[in-house]
Structure 1
Amino acid sequence: MLFPFTLVAALLAATLSAQEFPIAKPGCQDRCGNVTIPFPFGLTDDCCYDAEFLITCNHTFSPPKPFLSDSNIDFTEITLEGKLHLEQYIAKDCYDASGPTDSNTPSLTLSNFSISDADNIFVSIGCDTVASLYGNLEAAGSDGSEYEVGCTSLCNRLEYVPNDTCSGIGCCQTSLAKGVNYFYLTVTSQKNHSGILDFSPCSYAFIIEEKKFNFSRSDLWELQKIDSLPMVVDWSIGNNSCAEVKANTSACQGNSTCHDPHNGNGYLCRCLDGYRGNPYLSDGCLDIDECTDATVNHNCTHICTNTVGNYTCSCPKGYHGDGRKNSEGCNRRRSLVIQIAVGIGGCMVNQDNMRQVEEVANIARKCIKIRGEERPSMKEVAMELEGLRTSVKYPWTNDESNVEETEYLLGKSMEIVGFEKMAGTSAGYQSLQNYLMQSLGGGR
């Protein structure tokens, strides 16, 4: 019987977390094949920010493929964090016993975008491999100078090549500079792979997304079957920084903020905390319900209340604290019986009230026993307190701050206890709840 309920709860959570946020400009398509196209990118001139963000959707492929403008650069994902994921060709230089068999020098030219130095690395693979990357730098403050980096990997026996390590033995990797917007790759050998053709017939060079690269000695021959590998490009808007564009106009839309990119020129936008959506669209950043959105891990222990751009935590009736994890949380208020004991304990103890003090202390000890079956019922506690009440008037009964707590502590059980006839007496047993309310108001 639990399964249907669990399934419904899961579906509800998925529905709540799948809140629809705007992606493209109103009236514009937001997909090409399997790829989402968010503004500032667009499939037509009126749907993109400018010509640099125009996407051509080629329907001769199945499914259709998106390309940057009229180039041959196809990509697999655009993120609003300023990342463009694409597949880039591998440079190869292969041999067999008769000589060279396959060789190429792939290149990539970007207009205002840059190869991500934070996400990518330059790699060469092979046991007789010298790889080079030549390009241009267009980073902020650079003069568009030429850029060159190299990597050499060597080995003469397969057993010397370690798996999961790229440190020069069969594999070499190095970082990239910021602002590279054009490059081409070359890869050569020193000895035409002589003596190692059986396990390393080729030399390879490529730029690859670092988190998707893990070297294996099998790459020495398996990469012959692969043409391209994943790479990340950084994109941003324009050539002016946030400070410059803010001086003239509002760079980013409502509920969003402007920030300068880590790599390249221009600026980027992001939604403020508590909002999600497309910060490049008017009213594109919408408030998220942190309390119900399954993708948000709110900090409440009990009650979460959504507010615009934020949320608040609180505790249920009968608890106190700020309701937050790693803070006060929610703690149950002390039992009324324990408060009675504390209150009496603070009174002057003398021969006249010693018995009452001992009796209340005994009741308190019973109520805090760990084993539930050893604790008295509310009715039993009420009857014992009633007996004590008639013999002495306690100072704690004048504290009106206990009214709500008494109601919470006793709740429905007092309605059951109230108005029951006590055995051996003609008078009705007064509701304990009414009794306590009267007592808290000053007693009799």
Structure 2
Amino acid sequence: MILQIMWVSWLMMLLSLCSVAASTARSAAKPGCVEKCGNVSVPYPFGIRKPSCAMNDYFYLNCTSNDELLFGRNMPISDISELEGTVTVGIDAAFRCYNKTGIETDSYPQSMTLGAGPFMFSHTRNIFTAIGCDTLAQVTNYEFTYRATCLSTCRENVEMSDENPCSGSGCCQTSIPKGLNSLNYSLSSPYNYTNISDFNRRGFAFLADNSSLKISDWPLSRTPKYGKDAYATDVVIEWVVENKTCEQAKADASAYACGANAGCTYPESGQGYRCSCNEGFEGNPYLQEGCQDKDECQVEGKKPCQEGTCENTIGNYKCRCPIGKYGDGKIRCKGVGIITIISGN
């Protein structure tokens, strides 16, 4: 009888663990909606294929017939994070080219807007960069309330290195302010490249994710390309649910975006609000049941208990001290425990 009870208890515990594992592996998309476009996961509040799969029209994305996920009309998406509140897109660099006599032979200015939705270019992740030895790059927003200029010069060929920061010799960088949702960048040349045309006749300008940008990929000899072969950089876009404070959002329960076991948080930009799972929970905080209990006892590579046995609880965990000891096993158990004496014949 005792064995039967133990077996039933073990089976129920196993089923419970399987249930938890299944819940943590749930799709981050809205139930009944497609989760991926090509190799890119599309978590809610974003959605594809059907407008009802997104929180609203701002978060409804275009998944083309070629399974390419686009932000707006022409910005391909490589990653979406519902936890960090970011979308990573590819944007072609602007360039300007000259011949040996200083005559402009080709140019490609760049212009982009994120529309009327709650999106902005990340001022903490992105950096504006100019490449060239006679390059004056300018970046503005559509309203011309912001403008920055970057001048890059050099008299001899410079080897682009990831170890040395851009100092103005062959490469120049400047930050952008928070809150921008449109950008224009263009180039000019103070001396039309006539003094350094033997090794550099072109300049580039682009916004890029500073964590993934490799300056070594931008040698002064690089030749511009067009279309699908154009040189694009990863650009990070930040998003919020809507431009309201947490208090304002919670006052309208029907429109409040955070699901169960989730709370309202503010982004570093200070505009609007996002959602995040409460401590001890994980998942998509924008889905009603998206935040599920996290089993701290099963976190790979971590030992949650200094002593004793780990026992998961809803939103937390316990560390039960060995028999004969007492205290909080997360820190330290006190006592001597059970001493087993083995006597010989």
Distance 1:35 1:160 in 2: 35
Q: Do the aligned residues in 2 keep the contact of 1:164 with 1:216 (CA within 8 Å)?
A: no
Indicate the residue corresponding to 1:77 in structure 2.
79
Structure 1 residue 231: Cα displacement = 0.5
Q: Which residue in the other structure is 1:134 paired with?
A: 140
* 1:157 paired to 2:156: yes
Q: How many Å apart are 1:316 and its aligned residue?
A: 2.5
Q: Which amino acid aligns with 2:81?
A: T
Query: Which residue of 2 is the match for residue 50 of structure 1?
Result: 56
More strand by share: 2
Task: Quote the residue 2:26 is aligned against.
Answer: 21
Distance 1:332 1:25, change over 3 A: same
Tell me what 1:86 maps to: 89
Q: How many residues align?
A: 314
- Of 32, 35, 60, the match for 1:30: 35
CA distance in 2, matches of 1:49, 1:161: 44
Seq. identity, %? 35
Equivalence map 1:101-180=2 (5 Å): 101-111=105-115, 112=117, 113-136=119-142, 146-158=145-157, 164-180=164-180
Alignment correspondent of 1:410: 340
2:249 — aligned with what?
245
- 1:265-276 superposed matches below 5 A: 265-276=271-282
Q: Which residue of 2 aligns with 1:194?
A: 194
**Alpha-carbon distance in 2 for matches of 1:160, 1:284:** 49
How far off is 1:193 after superposition?
Answer: 1.5
TM-superposition CA deviations, 1:297-331 (whole Å, max 9, x none): 3532242211111112233335555333xx4x357
Going from structure 1 to structure 2, the CA distance change for 1:161 and 1:67 (only over 3 Å counts) comes to: closer
Task: Return the letter of the residue paired with 1:179.
Answer: G
Cα RMSD after superposing both structures = 2.7
Tell me the secondary structure at the aligned position of residue 155 of structure 2. coil
Letter in 2 for 1:22: S
Q: Distance in 2 between matches of 1:28 and 1:273?
A: 28
Residue 269 of structure 2, aligned match among 260, 263, 271: 263
Q: CA deviation at 1:227?
A: 1.6
Greater CA radius of gyration, 1 or 2? 1
**Aligned letter for 2:152?**
S
Shift in CA distance, 24/106, structure 1 to aligned 2, threshold 3 Å: same
- Return the TM-score normalized by structure 1: 0.65
Q: TM-score, normalised by structure 2?
A: 0.83
1:65 aligns with one of 64, 68, 71: 68
Residue 332 of structure 1, CA deviation = 7.3
Aligned equivalent of 2:234, options 230, 233, 254: 230
Q: Could you say if the C-alpha distance between residues 173 and 292 of structure 1 is closer, same or farther in structure 2, counting changes exceeding 3 Å?
A: same
- Unaligned 5+ runs, structure 2: 1-19
Q: List aligned pairs for 1:312-327, cutoff 5 A.
A: 312-317=318-323, 322-324=328-330, 327=331
State the 1:251 CA deviation.
Answer: 3.8
> Which has the higher mean CA deviation after the structures are superposed, 252-261 or 224-233?
224-233
| Equivalences for residues 242-391 of structure 1 within 5 A | 242-249=246-253, 250-263=256-269, 265-294=271-300, 297-302=302-307, 303-317=309-323, 322-324=328-330, 327=331, 329-330=332-333, 333=336
Indicate the structure whose relative CO is greater, using CA pairs within 8 Å and at least 6 residues apart. 2
Distance 1:300-1:223 versus aligned 2 partners, 3 A rule:
farther
SS at match of 1:211: coil
Cα pair distance change 1:274/1:313, threshold 3 Å: same
Tell which deviates more after alignment, 195-204 or 120-129: 195-204
